[in-house]
Amino acid sequence: MIENTARLLMEKLKVKILDNKGITLIELLVTLTISAILLPVTYGALITGYKVYEKVSIDAQLREDADYVSAMVMKNLYSYPFDSIEECTPHQTSCIKFVNNTGKNVTPYSGKSFYEVENENIPNDEQTLELINVDGKEQWSFNGEILATPSDFSGSTISTSCVSDPCQDAMIQLTYKVTHAQFNKTLQLESRFGF
């Protein structure tokens, strides 16, 4: 039974293959008409999808660069003990100094049940967070170490809201204006932290 059905299908296929009729003009016109309707719709959907993907990728890259800078600033601040902050110059909005003018002195163990920790004055030790120009684009630098990213931070600022003088309690606000050379887009982000 199955062999007979397979043989019949093979014979029909041979007849079709050996048929020299081809396609008619009407079949060709119907195929072209359907293609002319479906191809622009398909093309439009593909182009729209690609543009959305590109936009999301650009936003993700810019946010990733800003997050990297914020994370590196926080890492450096956690590893550097500072007592106060100062503005670099009154008119410069993209620079701030972190000042450490006291150090910890630990006395060696002398049979007591605890170590004695005393504050001692040390010369002013400063580290600077600033926006500098590197190869035609603005990059953040912490104490001379450039926090290199593919993005440009031109127009970014750093500001503080001090409660005391010298500034020992404050809220630090980083305002990023992030652009990328390949993308014609600027993203503005803010990062705040206190100490």
> For every one of its 195 residues, what pLDDT tens digit does the chain have, with 9 covering 90 and above?
788 888 888 888 777 676 666 777 888 899 999 999 999 999 999 999 998 998 888 888 888 988 888 888 888 877 777 777 888 776 667 888 888 776 554 455 555 555 455 555 555 678 888 888 888 888 888 888 888 888 888 888 888 888 777 777 788 888 888 887 777 778 888 888 777
Write out the two tokens for 125: 């030790």
pLDDT value at residue 36: 93
pTM over 0.85: no
190, burial (CB in 10 Å: exposed 0-12, middle 13-18, buried 19+): exposed
Is the Cβ–Cβ distance between 125 and 100 less than 8 Å?
yes
Q: Which amino acid is at 108?
A: P
pLDDT value at residue 34: 93
pLDDT value at residue 25: 84
pLDDT value at residue 106: 46
Is the Cβ–Cβ distance between 139 and 150 less than 8 Å?
no
Helix H or strand E encompassing 14 = helix 2-18
Q: Which residues, 6+ apart, have CB-to-CB distance to 149 below 8 Å?
A: 65, 68, 69, 139
pLDDT value at residue 107: 53
